[in-house]
Amino acid sequence: MNTWHSQKREGEAPAEPNRVNPMSINRPIRKRPAGGVHEERNKAVLVFTTICSKDRRPWLANPTVHQLLRTVWSEAGHWLVGRYVVMPDHLHLFAAPSFQRKTSFNAWMQFWKSQFTKRFRREVPTEAHQSHLWQSFQWDRRLRSVESYDEKWDYVVHNPVRHNLVADVADWPFQGEIHELRF
């Protein structure tokens, strides 16, 4: 651990305070993610996000949901969905702002989830609509390099294998890429 303590000698500036190792601080565990995607001027914005079903109910990984998600993402054009993987109780996606973007990432997330839910209720007759809901928040992270993108994609694409849903990543049918996102 680095410390910045020394005796002050005559004519010297005061010593900097002791540095504290941030890992040694007892911090409360977050119950919700920090909100918002910080955007910097003239820097690429690529966001990795995880969205869970309410109470982690496993209703997402099926052909009907998969196709409806692709349709809604394609129509909700303020942000572009790149690569994604839909798991039974959550999904991972990468997104970047489109040229027509007039809304924040969080507002866009809220928009497509509400559009999906309205269409799902209208198009899929079922008694279990109450169990087909989203968590109200998501976990997101702005990526800052192509290496970070590749690393996150490698993690995401292997999720179905890690969860013993398939033996090979190519066998998982609920994944894809809508737009090719680049740095």
Mean pLDDT, residues 104-114: 92
- Give the chain's domains with CATH numbers: 42-177 (3.30.70.1290)
Radius of gyration of the chain (CA): 21
Categorize the per-residue pLDDT at 35 as very low, low, confident or very high, splitting at 50, 70 and 90: low
- Residue 115 or residue 12, greater confidence: 115
Burial class (CB in 10 A: 0-12, 13-18, 19+), 174: buried
pLDDT at 14: 43
105-123 helix and 63-75 helix, angle to the nearest 10 degrees:
130
146 has pLDDT over 70: yes
β-sheet bridge partners, residue 91: 51, 86
Between the alpha carbon of residue 9 and those of residues 13, 15, 139, the distances in Å are 8, 10, 50
118 has pLDDT over 80: yes
Q: List the structure tokens of 18.
A: 């002791």
Backbone angles phi, psi at 99, to 5 degrees: -70, -25
Mean pLDDT, residues 5-34: 48
Between the alpha carbon of residue 145 and those of residues 27, 45, 94, 112, 179, the distances in Å are 28, 10, 13, 26, 18
Residue type, 154: D
**pLDDT tens for each residue of 120-141:** 888 887 665 556 789 887 888 8
Categorize the per-residue pLDDT at 8 as very low, low, confident or very high, splitting at 50, 70 and 90: very low
**pLDDT tens for each residue of 44-87:** 688 999 999 999 999 999 999 999 999 999 999 889 999 999 99
23 has pLDDT over 60: no
- What is the Cα–Cα distance from 118 to 131, expressed in whole angstroms? 14
Q: What is the pTM of this model?
A: 0.76
2 has pLDDT over 70: no
Backbone angles phi, psi at 94, to 5 degrees: -115, 140
